[in-house]
Amino acid sequence: MKISVIIPTYNRSHVLARALDSVLSQTLQVHEIIVVDDGSTDQTAQLIKDKYQSVIYIEQANQGVSAARNAGILKSSGDWIALLDSDDSWLTNKLEIQYQAIKSQANYRLCHTEEIWIRNGVRVNQMNKHQKHGGYIFEKCLPFCVISPSSVLMERSVFNEFGLFDESYPACEDYEMWLRLCAELPVLYVETPLINKFGGHEDQLSRQYWGMDRFRVKALHKIIQSCNLTPEYRYDALGMLLQKLDILQKGAVKHGNNELLQFCSELQLIYSTNQD
């Protein structure tokens, strides 16, 4: 197993070293580490030059996290891809435990793990709704993202078969990706917490974009229209889409957001007249 680690980053030189050190300290050696700098204006380039010469460093104009991840995936040469957000870190045995799990259950091409949540430097407990699962988990993916990109180890062929991250999503791009994959693939879940997922900082995507459900609705609409879902999956996806649309529409009316209101109305019209 040759593992390529892809780390997209944007103005996070203050935490990037933590992420990189967690990869370099793995008990299972990786094939390559690729950092994709998505137009940073801080000291990211200097950090890599001074302390991480073994890292493959790609610079590009700011295009968003999906474009950055895709650039790294396309540049990589490993047969397995591990994703890591630059503000997260891995426990030292993360990849080794995943490798052993995949080795013992070779029919899986996508593996994720439990995680440790740290908010503003303090460890916090996850709510029950964030519980992770394995197997065929499409229904579990519908409310919100239940797979952390930083925990994922995925066979390269999955991207070849199902495509890369959709670069039209400024946020919830991972939600769209897991919907697409989990509609057809089983997921291997390692119950041991193997990543530190840090939150509470100002540059999180969830803080930069209001109304995150509008991106999830877009993803649900996309998968209902473009994927060959089973009747059960389609029914569940449609139900979640209409539920989220109702919430968005009420918010749009309350805040006088005519653009969002039109978006909701158009989709509601499509699905209220075409439910089969």
Q: What is the pLDDT of residues 20-50, one digit of tens each?
A: 999 999 999 999 999 999 999 999 999 999 9
For each of the domains in the chain, give its residue range(s) and CATH number, in order of start. 3-206 (3.90.550.10), 213-272 (no CATH)
pLDDT at res. 41 = 96
Residue 9 near residue 36 (C-beta atoms within 8 A)? yes
CA 168 to centroid of chain Cα atoms: 14
With a threshold of 0.85, does the pTM exceed it? yes
Question: From start to end of the chain, where are the E strands?
Answer: 3-9, 32-38, 56-60, 80-83, 89-90, 110-119, 122-124, 153-155, 188-199
> What pLDDT, in 10s, does the model give residues 134-169?
999 999 999 999 999 999 999 999 999 999 999 999
- Pairing mode, strands 153-155 and 80-83: antiparallel
Residue 119 near residue 200 (C-beta atoms within 8 A)? yes
Find, among 150, 186, 144, 190, the residue nearest to 18 by Cα.
150
Distance CA 33, CA 57 (A): 9
> Left (φ > 0), alpha (ψ -120 to 50) or beta: where does 172 sit?
left
